[in-house]
Amino acid sequence: MSLDDARLSRRALLGGAAALGLVACSNEGRGGLPGGNGGGGARPAYMRYTGVKPDLPGAEYNIPNAFIRYPANPVEAIRKPPGDGKPIDVLTYTNTPIPPKVEQNSFWQEFNRRVGSPVTVNLTPSVDYNQKFATVVAGDRLSDIFLVGAVPQVPQLLAAKAVDLTPHLSGDAVKKYPFLANLPETAWNPCIFNGRIFGVPIPRGAISSQTMYSRADILEKVGVDGNVKSLDEFLELCKAVTDKRQNRFALAGAPTQWVRNMYDVPNNWSEQGKTLVSNLEHEAQEEVFEVLRKLWSSGYIHPDAFSGQNQDLKVRFGNGSSPLVQDTYSAWPSYLQTAVDPAMQIAIMTPPKHDGSGPGRLWRGAPAIGFAAISKKAAGRVETMLAYLNFLAAPFGTQEYLFRKYGLPGQHHKVVDGNPVLTEKGFSEVQLGLMYTADAPWTIFLPEKPGNAEAAFTAMKQTCPTAFTDPVAGMYSETNVRKGPQLTADITQITNDIIQGRKPVSAWAAAVKKWKSGGGDKIAEEFAQALASSR
Amino acid sequence: MSLFTRLRRDYPVLLLAIPGLLIIFAFHYFPLWGNVIAFQDYQPYLGVGKSLWTYLGNFSTIVDGDPEFLNAVKNTLVLTAIQTVIVFPAPIVVALVLHSLLSNRIRQFVQTVIYLPHFMSWVIVVAVFQQMLGGTGMINNWLRSHGYDPIHVIGNADAFRALLTSQVMWKDTGWATILFLAVLSQIDRSLYEASAVDGASRWKQTWHVTLPGMKPIIILLLILKLGDSLTVGFEQIILQQSAVGAEVSEVLDTYVYNNGILGGDWGTSAAVGLVKSVVALTLVLGANKLAHRLGEEGVYRG
C-alpha cells in the first residue's frame, strides 16, 4: 500500500464525519424503558409481628394500636448488627431541626455502633425535598439509600439507578428481614413497578390523615369551645381567638383540606361508575375557596402563612401565636416534643359539616408516605442495606425501637412512670430522619403528656373509619408520573393565588379545565384502568 | 519575528498561563458541551448518551409563545429595565456623593457600612427583609400592637418589583461604588483647579470634569452589564417566589429551573437557556461595536 492511499482524501473525511453525525443523531438504542403497572407480579409475603399486646387495639377501626406504657423489659429483636463496617449513606427529608454533627452527637455515635457501620444522613426539610431530589438525580449523586422524591418518570429512573429488590423481597424471601415482612401489604403498592419491587415503603395509613390541632389551653383562656358544630361556629371561634394586638392569628396556615372536609369533598379521586373523577371538579370547591378567602382576608390566617416554611407551623403553634394548625395525626409527638410552654394542651378539632348537619369527613392518609430505594452503586451491598432498613423497621416494644426513637436512658431520655420522655439533648440528637428512611407500622405512643395517647386514639377512632379513601392511592399512571408534579404545582399555585385574593374564585374553573386538558383527563383514564385491573 | 522565535522567547510566560487556561477551559468551555441537551428529550437518569433526540423540537416553546414562557420573558425584561435604569446608576451617584465628602473618616465609615451587605448571602438578605417587613415582622408587629393597620409588603405581588429592587440596591450598591471611587481618585486634580480658576461651580465641575473622567468605566460596566442583563437574580427570586406567585415573579432563570429541573422538561429549559445566552452574547457584541463607533474603547479593541 502506498502512502498516498493511506492518506484520507478531504471528501472521505467529510463523508465519514457526516456518517458519524448521523449515527450520533439517530434515536436507535436510546430512550428508557416504558413505565409499568403497579399491581400484579412479585409481592413480599406478610408476617405480622406479635411480640406485644396493645393497651388500645386499633385493628377494628383500621387505625394504629395505642400504648399507654412502654412494655417493660423490651426484647432485643435483632442480635447481629446489620452493618458491614463500611459507610452507609442515606438521602431523605426531615420535619424537625437538623441534628448536631456526629462528632458532637452521642446518640449518632451509639447508633453507628449498634448498626455496625458509620451512617451518614443527608437531610432536607420535607417541603424542599422534591427540589433537592431532582437536583441530586441531575447531578447523579444519589446516596446508597434514598427516599424517592416526586419527580417525573420515576419507574424509568428507578430502572436505571436503583437495585431491583425482587429477588430479595418477593414472596417468602422477605422473611429474612422479618420487620420488613411486618409492613402492611397495601403499603408495598407504590414500590412495585412492572411487577418488580424497587423499594421499601414507609408505612403510615390512617395516622397520616390531616386533621386540625388546637391549643386547648389558649381556647379555654379565651373562653371558646373547641367543639365546633358548623362553619359559622368555626368562623366565630377564629374571630374570638385572633387578637391582632397580641399578634395572635387563629390559624398557622391555610386549612385548605380541613375546609374541604366540611364540604365532603372526596379524597383526590372518586369513582363514578367505571370512571374516576378528580376532586378538583367537585361542585363545592368554589364555596370552599370563598371560605378560605374569608379566613385570609379577615386576618384569621397567619400573615406569613404563604411565605414561610413548614417548620414555622410548628413554631407558631408551639409559641401560641397560632392556636390552630392543620397537620397529620403523626405530627402529635413532635408538637409535644417541641413545646415551649409547659401549660400547652393539645386537642383535636374534628370538622363539622359546613351547614351543621353532622360531622365532616377527613381524608384517610395513603398506606405509605413514600419509599426508600437502594442505589445501583451499592448493588454489591444490597443485603447490608436491607438489613439496615429492617433494623429501622423494628416495631414498637423492642429495644431497637426504644433506642431509635428515644436514645439512651439518662442521656437522651428520662424515665417517667416507666415511660421514656426525650430530654432536650435527646430531642435535638435523635433527628436523623430515621422515620423517613424506613419505619415500623405506626404506634400511637405519647409519653410526654399523660392522657394524650388516649385522646389521639379516641379522635382517630371517631374520624378515621368514616374518612374518604383515595381509591387509587399507590397505583400507577404513566401520565401522572410524567406530568403530575408540574400539574400539581400549577394547581397549588392557583389555589394560593385565589386564597390570597390575587385571582378571583372564577379563575378556578379555567385552571381545572387546563389541568384536565394538560393531562388530568389522561391520568383519570389511566388510574381507572389500573383500578379495574387491580380487582 | 517568526512564531518559533517568539515561542522561544516567551515560553516561560506562556507556561505560567497554562493553569489559568485550564481552569477557563474546564469551567467555561467544557460545560458548553452540555448544550446538546437543548436538542434532546433529556432525562438525567439516561444521560446525554441514551436520551432521545428531538432536534429542534424543544425550540417550539420559544417560537410558538407558550404563555408561561412569555410571562417569564415579560418579567425578565421589566426587571432588566429597572436594573439598568435604577440599580445601575445608583453606585455612580453614591460614589459622587462620597467623593465630595470632605472628612476622610466619615467617608471611610460610610463606605464600610454600605458595602458590608454585599458579603451576606441572598438567604440571609431575604430573611432580614422578611423579619423586618414580613406580616409578623418587626415593623408590622409594632404597628399592630399599637392599633395601626399593618403594611403589606412581603407577599404583596404589587410591591414585589420594588422589593426586589430595594434588596439588590441594599446589598450591592456599596460594593459597586468601590470601582467608581477608584476611578474618581484617578482624575487629574489640575483639571479641577483649572476649571475653578475659570470660575466653574461645583455642579459644572461635576458635569464637565468628573463625569467625562468616569465615562470609559461607565461604558465598560454598562456593556458587561448588558451581557448578563437577562440574568436578573435567580437565587433572590426563587427564595421569594412562593410568597407572591409565578405571575409576577417568574423570570427566565426561574422558568428554566422550575420547568426543567423540577418539572422534568430538561430539553425545553436548556433550549431557553441557550437562546438566552445567544441573546446576551449578541447584546454584548452589539454594544461593544456601538461603543467603538462612538469612539470609546469598550470592553476590548476590535
Put simply, whether B5 touches A (Cβ < 8 Å) is no
Cα–Cα distance, A215 to A248 (Å, whole number): 12
Is the pLDDT reported for residue A356 higher than 90? yes
Residue A111's nearest CA partner among A404, A383, A390, A428 is A404
Put simply, whether A151 touches B (Cβ < 8 Å) is yes
Residue A46, all three cell numbers = 406478610
Tell me the shortest Cα–Cα distance from A500 to chain B, in angstroms: 9
Are residue A297 and residue A403 in the same domain, yes or no? no
- Find chain B residues with C-beta within 8 A of A500's C-beta: 155
Q: Strands A413-416 and A192-193, how do they pair?
A: unpaired
Are residue A171 and residue A273 in the same domain, yes or no? no
Q: Strands A192-193 and B40-41, how do they pair?
A: unpaired
Domain coordinates in residue numbering, chain B: 3-28+40-293
Are residue A335 and residue A418 in the same domain, yes or no? no
Put simply, whether A304 touches B (Cβ < 8 Å) is yes
A458 belongs to a structural domain? no
Residues B53, A26: C-beta atoms closer than 8 Å:
yes
Residues B264, A32: C-beta atoms closer than 8 Å:
no
Tell me the shortest Cα–Cα distance from B1 to chain A, in angstroms: 33
A423, amino acid identity: T
Are residue A243 and residue A380 in the same domain, yes or no? no
A291 belongs to a structural domain? yes
**pLDDT given for residue B189 in this prediction:** 87
**Contact in structure between A256 and A495 (CB atoms under 8 Å):** yes
Residue A318 domain boundaries: 210-363
Cα–Cα distance, A483 to A182 (Å, whole number): 33
Q: How many beta-carbon pairs under 8 angstroms link A with B?
A: 104
Tell me the shortest Cα–Cα distance from B71 to chain A, in angstroms: 14
pLDDT tens sequence across A458-477:
999 999 999 999 999 888 88
- Find chain A residues with C-beta within 8 A of B246's C-beta: 493
Are residue A231 and residue A273 in the same domain, yes or no? yes
pLDDT tens sequence across A378-414:
999 999 999 999 999 999 999 999 999 999 999 999 9
Are residue A176 and residue A248 in the same domain, yes or no? no
Q: Which residue of B has its CA nearest to A486?
A: B263
Among A443, A473, A505, the domain boundary falls at A443
- Find chain B residues with C-beta within 8 A of A131's C-beta: 261-262
Residues B135, A32: C-beta atoms closer than 8 Å:
no
CATH of the domain at A114: 3.40.190.10
Are residue A221 and residue A354 in the same domain, yes or no? yes
DSSP B229: T
Residues B50, A30: C-beta atoms closer than 8 Å:
yes
- Find chain B residues with C-beta within 8 A of A157's C-beta: 43, 45
Cα–Cα distance, A66 to A49 (Å, whole number): 15
Instruction: Count CA within 13 A, CB hemisphere, residue A322.
Output: 25
Nearest beta carbon to residue B46 from set A25, A32, A485: A32
Are residue A190 and residue A157 in the same domain, yes or no? yes
Burial of A351 (0-12, 13-18, 19+ CB in 10 A): buried
Residue of B33, B136, B250 best to disrupt the A interface, most CBs of A under 10 A? B136
Nearest beta carbon to residue B136 from set A137, A302, A306: A302
Residues B141, A247: C-beta atoms closer than 8 Å:
yes
Residue A341's nearest CA partner among A318, A315, A317, A316 is A318
Residues A500, B135: C-beta atoms closer than 8 Å:
no
Cα–Cα distance, B109 to A463 (Å, whole number): 64
* CA B58 from centroid of its chain's CA atoms: 27
Cα–Cα distance, B250 to B238 (Å, whole number): 9
The helix/strand/coil state of B298 is coil
Are residue A237 and residue A334 in the same domain, yes or no? yes
pLDDT tens sequence across A287-309:
999 999 999 999 999 988 887 66
Q: A100 pLDDT band (50/70/90 cuts)?
A: very high
Are residue A268 and residue A388 in the same domain, yes or no? no
Percent of chain A having pLDDT more than 70? 92
A68 belongs to a structural domain? no
Percent of chain A having pLDDT more than 90? 73
Is the pLDDT reported for residue A331 higher than 50? yes
A103 belongs to a structural domain? yes
Q: A8 pLDDT band (50/70/90 cuts)?
A: very low
A466 belongs to a structural domain? no
pLDDT tens sequence across B194-228:
998 998 888 898 889 998 989 888 888 888 888 88
**pLDDT given for residue A26 in this prediction:** 66
* Helix B160-186 × helix B122-133 angle, to 10°: 120
Q: How many CB atoms within 10 Å of residue A241?
A: 23
- Find chain A residues with C-beta within 8 A of B141's C-beta: 247
For residues A176-199, give the mean pLDDT: 92
Are residue A188 and residue A279 in the same domain, yes or no? no
**pLDDT given for residue B74 in this prediction:** 93
For residues B244-267, give the mean pLDDT: 87
pLDDT tens sequence across B127-139:
999 889 988 889 9
Tell me the shortest Cα–Cα distance from A135 to chain B, in angstroms: 7
Nearest beta carbon to residue B44 from set A130, A137, A486: A137
Are residue A180 and residue A146 in the same domain, yes or no? yes
Residues A247, B155: C-beta atoms closer than 8 Å:
no
**pLDDT given for residue A31 in this prediction:** 63
Among A412, A443, A474, the domain boundary falls at A443
For residues A156-185, give the mean pLDDT: 94
Is the pLDDT reported for residue A222 higher than 70? yes
pLDDT tens sequence across A421-448:
999 999 999 999 999 999 999 999 999 9
Residue of B45, B46, B126, B237 best to disrupt the A interface, most CBs of A under 10 A? B45
Q: Which residue of B has its CA nearest to A309?
A: B242
Number of domain units in chain A: 2
Tell me the shortest Cα–Cα distance from B157 to chain A, in angstroms: 8
| Domain B3-28+40-293 CATH assignment equals 3.40.50.720 | no
Residue A269's nearest CA partner among A442, A57, A473, A73 is A473
